[in-house]
Amino acid sequence: MTDQAFDLGDPEYRAAVVDLLGVLAYGELSAFERMGADAALAPVLDDEIHLASMAAAEWRHFQALRDRLVELGADPREAMEPFVAPLNDFHEHTAPGDWWEGLVKAYVGDGIATDFYREIAQFVDPRTRALVLEVCSDLGNSQFVVDRVTSAIDADPALGGRLALWGRRLVGEALSQAQRVAAQRDALSGLLVGGVDRPGADLAEIGRMLARLTDAHTGRMQSLGLGA
């Protein structure tokens, strides 16, 4: 894949990049808001501070994405607007009932979303790619969630059954909102399939990508001691 193939002067490609940064920016903003609220559910203060610090990191990511949208001459508000309803619907359908559901959401829900954006990052220019990979980096929080959730399930095995169902619901809601976005945003979905002179994925590659996303999700559920 040659990087020269990505031309921000091409209106279709530029619209796709603005969409990608817009959905990521509102994703970070809404994750910041919801994760901060979920931190208040923590049973102990150290854990509350840890989840709050994860929320604060999402705010910094939001700022980086907004700054880049401004730099591209786009209006950040306009770029985010199409994604407000689907992302808010996702969060309203997956409001955690307790601290454990909040932790699993921060790991499994965010995990499948950031994996997806990292895949998309292969089909954009190097500068956009670096920013997407940066805001989708793990920041070492997975181990925190895995430690807390596996200990809690050890102490209360019934919790495992409930969280396994919760994990499936998170993925179902994420897929449902992703389909809604894909149906409405031609430019964004066009990133995956490419354009004239712009590389994209063929059907076989998309199949392999879906397999990678599914495997990574299953791996996260297993690391929590849960069936996917």
Q: Which residues bind its own copies (CB under 8 A)?
A: 29-30, 32-34, 36-37, 39-40, 45-46, 48-49, 52, 55-56, 59, 62, 77, 80-81, 84, 88, 91
* Nearer to its own copies among residue 78 and residue 134 (C-beta): 78
* Nearer to its own copies among residue 18 and residue 121 (C-beta): 18
* Nearer to its own copies among residue 56 and residue 175 (C-beta): 56
Shortest distance in whole angstroms from residue 144 CB to its own copies: 16
Shortest distance in whole angstroms from residue 81 CB to its own copies: 6
Quick check: helix, strand or coil at residue 186? Answer: helix
Token digits of residue 201: 């994925």
Exposed / middle / buried, residue 51 (Cβ in 10 Å: 0-12, 13-18, 19+):
buried
Quote the CA–CA distance of 199 and 179 in Å, as a whole number. Answer: 22
Quote the CA–CA distance of 17 and 14 in Å, as a whole number. Answer: 5
Token digits of residue 214: 């599914």
Shortest distance in whole angstroms from residue 88 CB to its own copies: 7
* Nearer to its own copies among residue 81 and residue 147 (C-beta): 81
> In angstroms, what CA-CA distances link 99 with 141, 152, 221?
16, 11, 17
* Nearer to its own copies among residue 87 and residue 226 (C-beta): 87
Quote the CA–CA distance of 20 and 45 in Å, as a whole number. Answer: 36
Shortest distance in whole angstroms from residue 109 CB to its own copies: 16
Shortest distance in whole angstroms from residue 71 CB to its own copies: 17
Contact 96, 41 (CB under 8 A): yes
Quote the CA–CA distance of 169 and 150 in Å, as a whole number. Answer: 19
